Structure 1
Amino acid sequence: MRALLLEDNPDDAELLVFELKRAGFDPEWSRVDDEPGLVAGLGRSPDIVLADYNLPGFGALQALRLIGALPDPPPVIVISGAMSEDACVEALRRGAVDYLLKDRLARLGPAVEHALAQRRLDHARRHAEAQSQQHERRFRAAFDHAPVGMAVTAADGEVIEANAALLEMAGLSMAEVRGRPFDELVLPDDRPVLAEYIKLLGEGRDGERRARPRGRSDDDHLGRPVREVRLAGRDGKVTWTQYSASLITPNGVDGSPIVHQIADISARRRAEQALQRQTEQLARSNAELQELDRLKSEFIATVSHELRTPLTSIRGYTEMLAEDVNNVFGDDDRRLISIIDRNGRRLLALIDDVLTFADIEAGTLTLTCGPVRLADLLLSAVEATRASAPPEVAIKLDAADSLPELDADGPQIERVLLNLLSNAVKFSPDGGTVRVTARADAGEILVSVADTGIGITAAEQTRLFTRFFRSAETQRRAINGSGLGLAISKAIVEAHAGWIGISSTPGVGTTVSFGLPIS
């Protein structure tokens, strides 16, 4: 403890120090007897000042005036040989914490202890006040300049404070808002939302921690529940906002003020509404397109079916002419009849493809399954393709007769083979080779049709099994085709619980493979 003694008598000073030590203190002390000495001593920040009431020219009252002007004055105990009651009162009025008579110094220790304790309490109080003021300044700065609307209400809901953001949203002044029920700022239809929220908040349930729709979060970034309410402005303008609140005194204490937060989400709501309108428009457009696609498919199927009947008749009479049992026609006539027959078969095949795909799209493709020897189908398809293929393209078959039987629709599987073979021949140049392989492996039969043709780019390979798709190179070379063969083949193979895939390199060739389960 640092003690400053304002005393002109050294013996009296020693006596004071003795009493301090007897009371259990270990003082670091100094003695002064005039104003300059007191000023110098105060510069060493003493913990306690013991001042003699009567000094020649400078006493305790003058010292109290000087010490009282300090920002953090040390406690002063006035000591005198004899003091009147009025003098004691005056000393206390000027700031002394206590007074003692020199013949009663036994009370010095407790008096100093009390003074030091009081000073510690004063320091703690001033520190708490400073902290409180600092927190209040921070809260006020955050409150006034917050980007969201904020209001503080009493427990009865009347507005105490509101920040600039909320006043701007409401189009009101502070004078118009203060003392007004907060829920009057909200549209009447949304006021029950606030009432329920505040009720649950007061019950300590943190404002509606209840089940919410899956995939939706009703919490803000601090984990507090939020609700959407509409703010009613002075000019009739409605502002969509996100609302949350918290108690200033936590744990649902009755009578606690409430801090309300209102965030303007009008722009987000407008964007959501616009997106909803676009989604609904897209749904209507999609439904219309699906209906148009259905009508188109139905029309194509109907027209194709109507074309098939007269075309079948034409092909029948063409076959009769081609037989020429009486040798009526010459070589030129037979060539023309052959052209008619070939184009009739092409047209009939195209119509069959369209009708088959119509069944596939409608989900009415029916398989008539039974025991099938794939080796026989492969041989039949290869021979049929050779008969119509250019002689410059070689077709080779590599398939064992011992392939296991399949439970499949034979004509449909043969159709797949003919589609793949005709494509391979069509895209192979003169001198090219088409190789057909088949083998049993891991419970399925694998069939591959490989050509040495023009190939197809990687970007277009993913679209090869799409209906009516024809590659850019096919169109550039004006190669005939409907773009249905691979799509139909894929549907037939997958209807047999199989798979189909393609690998191709431009300028090198293409391999189409498919697998069918043996069981």
Structure 2
Amino acid sequence: MVNRAAPSRESAEKPAHRFRNSLGDPRMALFAPRVTARLLQGVFALIFLAATILLLFIELHTVLSLRYLTGGVLIAAATAAVFLPAMNGRDIKPWMVVLPGMDFLAFAIIRLESTGAATNPMVMMLTLPAIWAGLMRSWRSIAVIAVLSVAVITPDIVVLTQGRLTEPNADRAIMLIGMLPLVMILGAIAAHTMASILIDRQLALKREREQRAAAAAESERSRFLLDTVLDSLAVGVIVTDPEGELVLMNRILRESPELSADGADPWEAYKNSPAFEADGLTPLPDDESTYNRVVRGEHVSEQLLWVGPPHGRQRALSISGSPVHTATGEHIANVIIITEVTDYLQALKAKDAFIGTVSHELRTPLTTVTGVLEVFEEHIDELPSALAQWLPVLQRNVMRQHVLVRDLLTAAGTRSGALLLERDTTDLGCVATEAVSALSAEAGRKNIEIVLDVHSAVGSFDPTRLSQVAENLITNAVRYTPPGGRVTVRTRTVGDELELAVSDTGVGISAADKERLFEQFFRSESARSSAIRGIGLGLAIVKAIVEAHRGRINIDSEPGEGTTVTVRLPRD
């Protein structure tokens, strides 16, 4: 996710500042004067005109008076002013409060002429300019309206205090004096409040739209960045929804000649392409494909498949995949990663072929040397003492070379396919005992005690292969245990399983090295720095043999606290 800096407070307030003036903060064009002023002033003028026409029939002399005519001129001037070009803008200016003020002033003059008479009901139409002043969202405007409201009722106050009104007119004047300023001020305040609420709401909606637009732009930018990154990868990437429908396929797959040949849909071609298991010959069942397994919710790690016709041009693929869940556990997608490993496997095959060839070539002279040494051993009494003392050393080194050749051949065999097993009903304890016997001399040279804790563990397995497992584990334990240490070999039956455990008091294994122990030719840094013999095949061979027996292997170790390797095999 690409992070973007949040807008500063100053930049966020720029739109608001654009509308600020001494009368308030009308930040939006919702109550622009070209709309509100013309509407309210226009309606006010029409009502005044209608009232004036009625007065012509009721009190003609009032309409023809100088004061009424003066008030009418002020109202006409205010109405004409709202149509001036200056009123076309979006902003409310301080001077615009003059226009509703002219309406109030006009009625104040008219009331001097007709106090307590037919013009009393007409003053209520001043609610419209009061509302306009409130929509300016300025307390100064409301203060102006309050002062002018008092001015409108001042003539009534004067005549009422002088007692010049009849009792009915006096009552109406008292009601007018008490209610008019209150109605005008509350009307303006109500308009002010409503304008504030509406403008704040509109600002909130605007901010929300901007945030959504920014989020959409950010999402699009992130999507573009993700697509660019995925398209630049040298491995295939597929993303599907939880039901397995395609969401994304990167370029290396979309443009793959095998998937897009003859205009084919790469996604459909991928799903329908026949695949074969690691041997390149056995068809992979549809329900065992990485795609179907991941859609079922399984996690797949480096499944090796071959695509292409058997005995033809095939490509090797290493495929991994897993479902994707949110922090709350919701299944939102599936991801499949496809890596072509054809060249890698061909290189490994060539290496294994080379190792196999070399091993076979070494085995012949080793057999000859072994035969010669056996003849020397039979006639050791006839050999010069200087030569006879070297005979055990020669035998020991030839045996090491035999073990090395055996391990090399076994390692090459594990890559070419499953190991062939010759099962027999045998006691694992006997196998362990023979392995200890074969390695006791090497342990003795380092003054390492081997403790044998053997219990009956009879089952069906390949005794030759299991002997190789036991010898490799005990050899490693002896090599990595300092002089004076102890190696414990234990066999037993646990339920339906046979168990072989080899423990030592050696140097232990770090967590980083533990992850790579079963890799062929891997040797830890401590082994290399300590010049401990070995080529890094022992545990890889052990693992291959154990898995061929459908068993499992576990390593429990901490640096400086020794190591315990436990092998468990099914009895049958």
TM-score when normalising by structure 1: 0.52
2:340 is aligned with 1:332: no
Q: Contact between 2:429 and 2:492, CA under 8 Å: does it hold in 1? A: no
Which letter does structure 2 place at the counterpart of 1:54? Answer: H
Which structure's CA Rg is the greater one?
1
Which letter does structure 2 place at the counterpart of 1:516? Answer: L
2:367 is aligned with 1:312: yes
Which letter does structure 1 place at the counterpart of 2:74? Answer: L
> Which range is displaced more, 331-340 or 465-474?
331-340
Cα distance in 2 for residues equivalent to 1:433 and 1:121: 99
- 2:444 corresponds, among 364, 369, 390, to 390
Deviation for aligned residue 1:407: 1.4
1:377-416 maps to which residues of 2 (within 5 A)? 377-391=431-445, 392-400=447-455, 403-416=456-469
Question: Equivalent residue for 2:231?
Answer: 276
Moved over 4 A (4+): 48-53, 72-78, 111-123, 145-148, 263-271, 280-287
Question: Equivalent residue for 1:62?
Answer: 70
Which letter does structure 1 place at the counterpart of 2:411? Answer: F
Which letter does structure 1 place at the counterpart of 2:490? Answer: T
Which letter does structure 1 place at the counterpart of 2:416? Answer: A
Q: Contact between 1:381 and 1:414, CA under 8 Å: does it hold in 2? A: yes
- 1:431 corresponds, among 451, 459, 484, to 484
Could you tell me which runs of 5 or more consecutive residues in structure 1 were left unpaired when the two chains were aligned: 1-41, 79-101, 149-219, 223-241, 243-262
Cα distance in 2 for residues equivalent to 1:317 and 1:438: 37
Deviation for aligned residue 1:447: 2.1
2:513 is aligned with 1:460: yes
- 2:99 corresponds, among 64, 67, 71, to 71
For 1:301-332, what per-residue CA distance to the aligned partner results, in whole angstroms no more than 9, with x for missing partners?
2222222233223222322222227x421333
Deviation for aligned residue 1:384: 1.3
Question: Equivalent residue for 2:415?
Answer: 361
Instruction: Say what the alpha-carbon RMSD is for the aligned residues.
Output: 4.9
Question: Equivalent residue for 1:165?
Answer: none
Cα distance in 1 for residues equivalent to 2:383 and 2:509: 45
For 1:371-409, what per-residue CA distance to the aligned partner results, in whole angstroms no more than 9, with x for missing partners?
111121122111111144325222111112xx2421111
Cα distance in 1 for residues equivalent to 2:467 and 2:460: 14
Cα distance in 1 for residues equivalent to 2:74 and 2:122: 20
Cα distance in 2 for residues equivalent to 1:290 and 1:71: 90
1:470-489 maps to which residues of 2 (within 5 A)? 470-489=523-542
Q: Contact between 2:439 and 2:471, CA under 8 Å: does it hold in 1? A: yes
1:203-242 maps to which residues of 2 (within 5 A)? none
Cα distance in 2 for residues equivalent to 1:514 and 1:479: 24
Q: Which has the higher helix share?
A: 2
Q: Contact between 1:444 and 1:515, CA under 8 Å: does it hold in 2? A: yes
Cα distance in 2 for residues equivalent to 1:345 and 1:115: 119
1:69-218 maps to which residues of 2 (within 5 A)? 69=78, 71-72=99-100
Deviation for aligned residue 1:340: 2.4
Which letter does structure 2 place at the counterpart of 1:439? Answer: R
Cα distance in 1 for residues equivalent to 2:567 and 2:219: 59
Question: Equivalent residue for 1:216?
Answer: none
Which letter does structure 2 place at the counterpart of 1:374? Answer: L
Which letter does structure 2 place at the counterpart of 1:346? Answer: R
Question: Equivalent residue for 1:420?
Answer: 473
For the structure 1 residues 283 and 305, does the alpha-carbon distance in structure 2 shift closer, same or farther, using more than 3 Å as the test?
farther
- SS of alignment partner, residue 382 of structure 2: coil
- 1:440 corresponds, among 483, 487, 493, to 493
Question: Equivalent residue for 1:202?
Answer: none
TM-score when normalising by structure 2: 0.48
Question: Equivalent residue for 2:356?
Answer: 301
For the structure 1 residues 443 and 304, does the alpha-carbon distance in structure 2 shift closer, same or farther, using more than 3 Å as the test?
same
Cα distance in 1 for residues equivalent to 2:478 and 2:356: 28
Cα distance in 2 for residues equivalent to 1:477 and 1:264: 55
Question: Equivalent residue for 1:20?
Answer: none
- SS of alignment partner, residue 389 of structure 1: helix
Could you tell me which runs of 5 or more consecutive residues in structure 2 were left unpaired when the two chains were aligned: 1-43, 79-97, 108-116, 137-190, 236-251, 253-336
